[in-house]
Structure 1
Amino acid sequence: MKDRSEMLRKYAALAVRVGINLEEKEGLVITTGPDGLPLARLAAEEAYSMGAKNVELIINDDKVTLSRYINGKEIAFEEFPSWKTAMFEGMYKDNYHHLFIISPDPELLKDADPVKVGAYQKVSSAAMAPVMRYRMTGVTKWAIVAVPSIPWAESVFPELKGDEAVEALWDEIEKASRLDVEDPVTAWRDHDANLKKRMEYLNTRNFEKLNFKGPGTDLEVYLANEHWWIGGSSDSSKGVPYMANMPTEEVFTAPHKLKVNGTLRSTKPLSYNGKIVEDFGFTFKDGAVTDFYAAKGAEVLEALLKNDDGARYLGEVALVQDDSPISNTGILFNNTLFDENASVHFALGRAYGYSIRNGSTMTLDELAEKGANYSLIHVDFMVGGPSLDITATDHEGNTIDIFRNGNWVI
């Protein structure tokens, strides 16, 4: 196997210095699974060397997660531990920031009862809503990075097994995360500056709506009032930049909850709650999903849309051109962190507060007045590709092409 020790040190530095952008006297909480422990340990070293007041490690294990759905009795799906909500809220209030090191199994819950999965998703989302608000408004800086697991790697490279698949996936993660260059931190700051140019153009133009057209897609999307495009790094509520997703290629904002009409077809499978949804699409009227279909996993979509009232509405529209590093690999990663950065995408559910001008300081009611959706969920799905065109319309009715054949034309 390839010696990746130097790469892992670069990855840890990148996650802490660019992802979280940790400052002296701040705390860091790291959530990961067994496969992420080597990177987590190096991230802790990096954080302490930067003056962190404390690093807290939380381990999740797929087998324990699966056991709930296979062996759990009714009580296991009725409540979420109140101490866990209080723990996270306490850490966030105490100036801790959150690094997630994921190593997912895309089909972990493929044999689990979807009713049980949906029930616990709803209970846990409701319990964690106060905690999520810290991240959605930028009070808490957060970042997601990924390391391979065998199940994930074998789903991406089905012709390979075990360590061979993991090695192949590591190679792709290195390239997508700009870890294959001498100075990834500088490379990411340069990349961030390029994404900011797109962001600044869109914010200067302040378009009223976007129209999406492609195979199975004909959608009119009005943008939220006083919407704000974000590309690359986000600013915390204190004005400190951080990179929530690594990798990222997107520029995104909030659609108007009640002003989305037409049809929308996915172009990549969705991995959600340990199950795969394939070849799916939606019909929207006045913002809400009124109909949907899926060749595989329709029951997963049905449960997702029933989470709460806001689950049927959109909370994010994100622009990613087809000619981008992750898309050009031609690889389906079976993971949203990577696949959403290969494609234009939307999210059902909650809008990010900071995708409204000054939204980080607004109440939920104030955000709703601007047209930002609220939900317990936020689930991205991909709709981009070489056949997608996007036209933008300003408040005077002037139109301009911004995407043709899946790529930027501005």
Structure 2
Amino acid sequence: MNEEWVRRFAELAVRVGVNVQPGQGVVVSADVAQAEIARLVVERAYLAGARWVDVLWSDAVVRRSDLMHADLEALTADRPWALERTRSWTDDGIASIALVGTPDPALYAGIDPARMAAVRRQEAIAMQQAVMSEGWRWTVVTAPNADWATQVYGEPDVDRLWGVVAQAMRLDETDPVGAWRERSAALAARCAALDALQISELRYVGEGTDLTVGLLPDCRWTGGSTVDPGGVAYLPNIPTEEVFTSPDRRRADGVVRLTRPVVIAGQLVEDLRLTFADGRITEVSATTGADLVRSQLDTDPGARSLGEVALVDKESRIAQAGVVFHNTLFDENAGCHVAWGQSFPFAVDKGLELTPDERYALGLNNSSVHTDVVVGGDGLSVTATTPSGPVVLLRDDIWLLPAS
């Protein structure tokens, strides 16, 4: 493991990801397999001036025991103390750093898909509302580990994985912080150009994909860093190569074929195909994991409708790595994607000031899930419908729209 890359990884999570401010509380979420990296993130957070840092440890093996032995009611029952904790964190204005990774999918083999998709709905919604309504600054960063390396390369070659992660996260740059500021500015310029088009519809066309999605009037595109109500900039995902918005949940028709597998609840879903009609997913097929997808889509009424559409071109560093990462944070930044489930409140003007019911009435989606799936890559084209006529945004995965 390259110690300099690990140090830069921790520095990016703290300084760029959540931009820890003096006197702020910080919550770090990590699996026990990421203990070494988590400890360094804690140290860097204190050096940045954090008042306190708490680590919420998880364990994929313990999770397997939960899924195998707890009854379904226990797996879905909301816990008052967890809801109160989320409220307390919001009142305190914390910074949240989530270190995520990809566990061994064989660990969950044979477990009932309905149990795998179990979610404590009110807890999930409270957490989503906190982060999507800018209740606190947050970032999600994927930390290399042996299980993840095994999925990518067939062997636990963590050093090799660190090499491509370092490239994707710009850890190989002389000044990674400066490199991310530059990339964020470029993504922001794309968003401004998209906003200026006043797009009413997007059409994704590629091999096995022909999907038309309606957008909301005056929707806003987001990409790169964002700014909290106090004026502090942060980067919710590292790495990120996307520009995205939330569509009209009522308008999606056609079919999509995933160009990359997706990991849902720790299990790999491959060759997924979805059919949409009148804004809802009506048919699901896959070579592996179809029942798990169907179980998640049955979580709540909003799970079958879209909450996000995103554009990524082949110049993405993740795409250029030429690796299927089997990790959503990385793979969603390798190509255009959509997500079923929860919408982003900030995707519409003054959306953060509206209640969930008011957002829903406008056409934004409400759900306790949010799952990104990649449809982009070689051969994909995306065309926008605008007041001035159709505009091709990407052709054969190449970005065509000039920056604003």
TM category (shorter chain) comes to over 0.9
Match of 1:134 in 2: 130
Match of 2:311 in 1: 319
Match of 2:301 in 1: 309
Match of 2:342 in 1: 350
Q: Helix, strand or coil for the counterpart of 1:368? A: helix
Give the Cα separation in 2 of the matches to 1:20 and 1:78.
Answer: 30
Give the Cα separation in 2 of the matches to 1:139 and 1:69.
Answer: 31
Question: Which of 260, 266, 271 is the matching residue for 1:268?
Answer: 260
Give the Cα separation in 2 of the matches to 1:64 and 1:329.
Answer: 33
| Structure 1: 5+ residue stretches without partners | none
Q: Helix, strand or coil for the counterpart of 1:341? A: coil
CA contact (8 A) 2:269 2:290 kept: yes
CA contact (8 A) 2:168 2:321 kept: no
CA contact (8 A) 1:106 1:335 kept: no
Match of 1:224 in 2: 216
Q: 1:75: how far off?
A: 5.5
Q: 1:167: how far off?
A: 1.2
TM superposition outliers: structure 1 runs of 4+ over 4 Å: none
Question: Which of 328, 331, 343 is the matching residue for 1:339?
Answer: 331
Q: Helix, strand or coil for the counterpart of 1:168? A: helix
Match of 2:116 in 1: 117
Name the stretch that deviates more: 175-184 or 88-97: 88-97
Return the letter of the residue paired with 2:252: V
Give the Cα separation in 2 of the matches to 1:289 and 1:236.
Answer: 33
1:248 and 2:243 aligned:
no
Return the letter of the residue paired with 2:395: R
Please report the RMSD computed on the Cα atoms of aligned residues, expressed in angstroms: 1.6
Match of 1:375 in 2: 367
Give the Cα separation in 2 of the matches to 1:282 and 1:87.
Answer: 37
Distance 1:252 1:74, change over 3 A: closer
Mapping of 1:163-202 within 5 angstroms?
Answer: 165-202=157-194
Length, aligned pairs only: 400
1:291 and 2:283 aligned:
yes
Q: Helix, strand or coil for the counterpart of 1:384? A: coil
- Percent sequence identity is 35
Question: Which of 40, 43, 46 is the matching residue for 1:48?
Answer: 46
Q: 1:344: how far off?
A: 0.3
Distance 1:97 1:77, change over 3 A: same
Q: 1:373: how far off?
A: 0.8
Mapping of 1:57-206 within 5 angstroms?
Answer: 57-73=55-71, 76-105=74-103, 107=105, 108-118=107-117, 120-121=118-119, 124-158=120-154, 161-162=155-156, 165-206=157-198
Match of 1:364 in 2: 356
The TM-score normalised by the length of structure 1 is: 0.94
Name the stretch that deviates more: 354-363 or 333-342: 354-363
Q: 1:168: how far off?
A: 1.0
CA contact (8 A) 1:260 1:287 kept: yes
Match of 1:408 in 2: 399
Give the Cα separation in 2 of the matches to 1:49 and 1:115.
Answer: 43
Return the letter of the residue paired with 1:301: V
Q: 1:297: how far off?
A: 1.2
Give the Cα separation in 2 of the matches to 1:116 and 1:321.
Answer: 36
Give the Cα separation in 2 of the matches to 1:225 and 1:323.
Answer: 29
Match of 1:330 in 2: 322
Return the letter of the residue paired with 1:185: V
| Structure 2: 5+ residue stretches without partners | none
CA contact (8 A) 1:138 1:354 kept: no
Return the letter of the residue paired with 2:61: K
